Amino acid sequence: MTYITEAWYPVVWADRVGRELTRHTVLDEPIVIYRLENGDIAALRDVCPHRRAPLSLGKLKGDTIECGYHGMTFDCSGKCVLIPGQEIIPRTAMVRAFPLQVKYGMVWLYMGEPKNADPAKIFHIEQYGKEGWHAVQGDTLRIECNYLSLCDNLLDPAHVTFVHASTLGTPAGAAVPVNNDYGESTITVWRWIRNGPVIPLFEKFGKLQGLVDRWHYYTYSMPCNFSIDMGSCVAGAIPDMEKRSEGVQMFTCHMLTPVDERTVLQHWFHVRNFRTDEHDIDAALSAGLDMAYREDKVVLERIQIEEERDPHFKNITLGIDAAPMKMRRMVAATIESEAAGRP
């Protein structure tokens, strides 16, 4: 499996990083993450360059890591500062340090060349922190499937009616076609369902009843991040589709960490424009969203098993597959371009 490397990837919620050494895997790369004494966070390759013992098995001493095998000690820049019983430290006694940023309460690492680590290229959602919107940190779901399979799912409004009947869907959307808009590094799949029943989550938390117009805009950003704009209004109340913020609107954001060929972490949060001062509903709304994502998890993990059982099976292609297929071509082309640019 190969991945896009010249990109920022989410790893772990920052409030879960403390003064202990924790091991993470991103793009098949082992990484140790810990908090410094001044409150900052450091990330190093979790491999001692001597015998390849994981540094996460060692000890944190101040802001340095002492390898648990032979005591080689590395600072947060990856430089070896001590070798017990040896005064001369080889110049090659280094561990890779990853550029790191915290955004949306999430630790992001740049997995490519450090000189290319532009924080402005981290996934962005305009409504986060904006007046009139309330952001709620969600959780992380581990799914035993290839990350591109989850990307397919998050570019597919058509499955909502059938997988999420108790949370995000209603039968009214089954026959409504989707529209696709393509950018250089983004894809948006969207549709409006007019004059239909309200979805269960918006009936409960958005206080909507009767017939509504509702929308889904699924926007993918390379390498594997998504913002899903979902909302509803009283039927006929918003004829201009660009004025969706006048209705009950919520963005659910999904930031994916490809762990390895068959494992992905789905980090998520939501930003809403309704009941923004009623923080007592945050946990219940997040629980409803978590239930929906676990419904996807069941399907995706079974698909992974079937793909591994019969890797030569030929899937048929439907019209709803246009955006996922485009996404996979974009990823493949970027991986190929990166490979061509390497010495």
The enclosing domain of 147 has a CATH number of: 3.90.380.10
Distance, in Å, from the CA atom of 188 to the CA atom of 32, rounded to the nearest integer, reads: 35
Point out the domain boundary residue: 58, 90, 119: 119
- Summarize the confidence of residues 73-86 as an average pLDDT: 97
Q: Please tell me whether residue 275 adopts helix, strand or coil conformation.
A: coil
pTM of the model: 0.94
Q: Nearest-CA neighbor of 14 among 273, 255, 289, 264? A: 255
Q: Kindly state whether residues 315 and 192 are assigned to the same domain.
A: yes
Distance, in Å, from the CA atom of 99 to the CA atom of 121, rounded to the nearest integer, reads: 13
B/e letters for 237-246, b = 16+ CB within 10 Å, e = fewer, are ebeeeeebee
Residue 2: inside a domain:
no
Q: Kindly state whether residues 180 and 270 are assigned to the same domain.
A: yes
Q: Kindly state whether residues 39 and 69 are assigned to the same domain.
A: yes
Question: Residue 226 has which token pair?
Answer: 């998504």
Helix (H) or strand (E) holding 80: strand 80-82
* Number of Cβ within a 10 Å radius of residue 287: 11
In CATH, what number is assigned to the domain containing residue 62? Answer: 2.102.10.10
Q: Kindly state whether residues 307 and 234 are assigned to the same domain.
A: yes
99 secondary structure, DSSP code: -
Residue 202: inside a domain:
yes
**Per-residue model confidence (pLDDT) at position 200:** 84
**Per-residue model confidence (pLDDT) at position 156:** 87
Tens-digit pLDDT profile for residues 90-122: 999 999 999 999 999 999 999 999 999 999 999
Least confident of 24-28, 160-164, 188-192: 160-164
Residue 291, exposed/middle/buried by CB under 10 A (0-12, 13-18, 19+)?
middle
**Per-residue model confidence (pLDDT) at position 178:** 87
Least confident of 164-173, 179-188, 245-254, 312-321: 164-173
Q: Would you place residue 174 in the very low, low, confident or very high pLDDT band (cuts 50, 70, 90)?
A: low
Q: Kindly state whether residues 104 and 239 are assigned to the same domain.
A: no
Q: Would you place residue 1 in the very low, low, confident or very high pLDDT band (cuts 50, 70, 90)?
A: low
Structural domain including 74 reads 8-119
Distance, in Å, from the CA atom of 171 to the CA atom of 166, rounded to the nearest integer, reads: 11
- Summarize the confidence of residues 221-226 as an average pLDDT: 97
Please state, in angstroms and as integers, the Cα–Cα distance from residue 269 to each residue in 161, 230, 289, 307, 312, following that order: 22, 14, 9, 30, 37
- Summarize the confidence of residues 273-287 as an average pLDDT: 95
